[in-house]
Homo-oligomer: A and B are copies of this chain.
Amino acid sequence: MSQERNTEEQIIAAAKKIFSAKGLAGARMQDIADEAGINKAMLHYYYRSKEKLFEMVFNEALDRLLQRLSNAINTNLPLTEKIREIVRSYIEGLMENPHVPLFVLNELQQQPELLIKQFRSKPSFPNIQQFLMEIAVAGEKGLIKKVSPIQLMLNILSMCVFPFVAKPLVKGVTGIDEVQFKLLVEERKQFVADFILTAIQP
């Protein structure tokens, strides 16, 4: 009689937690086993090696990150409302998994090939080109100011993601605590959207 499903899921959940907290190099198989409430040997029984387990977790994390981006970008709204929606839903998604971006970005820095594995066969890969085109067209039509589409997209992403990546620094420099930080981020859904829309007003 097997708890296969349960155990596998437990392992993945534990691995996700430990890997994203400590990174590939810093994580210990023992930590993951403890977190999952099972034995170290079981990890190798289900997933052959640390690398394999990591790749599984990492790809899922990257996939979710890109998926969220895709969903936001592909909504069928006029550009300005779409931007508001992107900001809202992206920040909301990050609030649920606040340490994922730093984890992903850090591992991508060290092994940029990791991204390439996502290209293959992934429908989650965001259709950036279409969104960039949309910005360009809206600029031509005078719906928004004419701006470099890539720069604008970078600005949007920056302001959504950065606070999560820099959380300890932000808390340290400003002196705010966890509760205030949560509030700050919550406020940002509105603030960032307004900020962007004002900046690109025609």
Q: Are B105 and A22 in contact (CB under 8 A)?
A: no
Q: Answer whether residue A102 sits at the interface, using C-beta atoms and an 8 A cutoff.
A: yes
Specify which chain B residues have a CB less than 8 angstroms from the CB of A165 in the assembled complex: 105, 162, 165
Report the stretch among A1-9, A34-42, A46-54, A151-159 that lies at the interface: A151-159
Q: Are B157 and A162 in contact (CB under 8 A)?
A: yes
Q: Answer whether residue A172 sits at the interface, using C-beta atoms and an 8 A cutoff.
A: yes
Q: Are B23 and A168 in contact (CB under 8 A)?
A: no
Q: A162-B161, A187-B151 are in contact. Are A108 and B22 (CB under 8 A)?
A: no
Q: What string of 1s and 0s marks CB contacts (under 8 Å) between A138-159 and chain B?
A: 0000000101101100110111
Q: Are A108 and B169 in contact (CB under 8 A)?
A: yes
Name the residue among A148, A162, A184, A201 with the largest chain B CB count within 10 angstroms. Answer: A162
Interface residues of A in 167-202 (CB under 8 A from B): 167-174, 184, 187-188, 191-192, 195-196, 198-201
- Chain B proximity of A159: nearest CB distance (Å): 5
- Chain B proximity of A81: nearest CB distance (Å): 18
**In the complex, A12→B90 CA distance in Å?**
40
**In the complex, A45→B200 CA distance in Å?**
57
Pick the contact of A23 from B23, B187, B195 — CB < 8 Å? B23
Specify which chain B residues have a CB less than 8 angstroms from the CB of A126 in the assembled complex: 173
**In the complex, A196→B22 CA distance in Å?**
35
Q: Answer whether residue A25 sits at the interface, using C-beta atoms and an 8 A cutoff.
A: yes
- Chain B proximity of A199: nearest CB distance (Å): 4
